[in-house]
Amino acid sequence: MIPAQLELLLKKQHYALVGKNKHSAVQICNYTKQSIRGKDICYKEKFYGIKSHRCCQMTPAIEFCQHKCVFCWRAIEHNQGINIPKIDNPKEIIDECMKAQKKLLAGFGGSKDADKKKFQEAQTPNQFAISLSGEPTIYKKLPELLDELKQRNITSFVVSNGENPEMLKKINPTQLYVSMIAPNEPLFKKISNSCYKDCWKRYLKALKLLKLKSKTTRTVLRLTLIKGLNMLEPENYSKLITLATPDFIEIKSYMHVGFSQKRLKRENMPLHEEVNKFAQELLKFLPNYKLIGEKEISRVVLLSNGKKNKLIA
């Protein structure tokens, strides 16, 4: 279904397209590889207790998105729009993701530095990170996909840009993220390049909805900080955060990788110390939150209001 040029580009980037209609994909996360080699783990393992070597990084909407964010490391020039013409069923997507993950990891079996136990466990992922590329809420059967994962005892983290609040109402993943990229409407539109004229209205609705979703799932706001662009107005950020009242707030540096290098400079990537300093500024306006974790190499800090256990028991 996707253009041949895009399919070739994705394969060069080690994506495995899955499903009959090829709107879903898997890519092995760097931290999955590092965990198997015993070198490092993802900050999500440190913060939330998932296992990096058993995480499947996937998307049901490859290159389908309402945004063309300036900081996106993906090839936004190949954005496929906001409607997937023909969709695959959830069971097919999950089964093929598992097979693709196993195939992509095959080379690690003979590696001298691979942890054999972790390698074996990695063959059967128990966590799906639904955030690889594109906007997952565009996939119309996302609720059914999450239900199927739950039936298989697989946890799920869904990351959304918040532009489809009606779908957010319908889903209950293990953990629901909404991205936060700006403290005000003009900057939000500048950074997101949204296809919707009412994008800010949609986003505010998603933030308010996130507060309600906290009753049925664990909720997170993820702030992506871009030095020289959106590291400002902490009080206005705090007002938006209060609309959502998430269980956790991830404050993370923009990373100067992939196709974002064509749009931004390396100087736009804040140091961990700068991320931490901005978090401290935010905390001045968020008395119910505390800084409970950080991972320096990932340039990320974690805030919590203490209402939910950070670990998946």
At 2 the pLDDT is 76
**Quick check: 139 and 44 in contact, CB under 8 A?**
no
Q: Which residue has the higher pLDDT, 108 or 140?
A: 140
Mean of pLDDT values over 172-199: 97
Q: For 236-263, what is each residue's pLDDT tens digit? A: 999 999 999 999 999 999 999 988 899 9
At 112 the pLDDT is 81
192 pLDDT above the threshold of 80? yes
Q: For 204-247, what is each residue's pLDDT tens digit? A: 999 999 999 999 999 999 999 999 999 999 999 999 999 999 99
At 312 the pLDDT is 47
Mean of pLDDT values over 252-275: 95
Confidence of residue 313 (pLDDT cuts 50, 70, 90): very low
**Quick check: 132 and 57 in contact, CB under 8 A?**
yes
At 311 the pLDDT is 52
Torsion of Cα atoms, 207 then 209 then 214 then 219, to 10°: -40
At 100 the pLDDT is 95
At 18 the pLDDT is 95
- Length, in residues, of the chain: 313
At 26 the pLDDT is 96
Proportion of the chain above pLDDT 90, given as a percent? 85
Confidence of residue 3 (pLDDT cuts 50, 70, 90): confident
What does the domain layout of the chain look like in residue ranges?
4-304
Pairwise CA distance, residues 239 & 244, whole Å: 9
Q: How far is CA 40 from CA 36, 80, 207, 237, 257, in A?
A: 9, 34, 33, 32, 19
DSSP annotation of 27 reads: -
Residues contacting residue 33 through CB under 8 Å, at least 6 positions apart: 108
73 Rama sector, left if φ>0, alpha if ψ -120 to 50, beta otherwise: alpha
Q: Which residue has the higher pLDDT, 132 or 275?
A: 275
Mean of pLDDT values over 142-168: 97
Q: Which residue has the higher pLDDT, 152 or 107?
A: 152
- The lowest-confidence range among 130-134, 190-194, 271-275 is 130-134
- Residue 17's SS3 state is strand
Selected from 3.90.1720.10, 3.20.20.80, 3.20.20.70, 3.40.50.300, the CATH number assigned to the domain covering 4-304 reads 3.20.20.70
Residues contacting residue 38 through CB under 8 Å, at least 6 positions apart: 113, 115, 118
At 89 the pLDDT is 97
At 132 the pLDDT is 85
Nearest to 238 by CA among 292, 194, 184, 168: 184
Please tell me the pTM assigned to this model: 0.94
111 pLDDT above the threshold of 90? no
Output the average pLDDT for the chain: 94
310 pLDDT above the threshold of 70? no
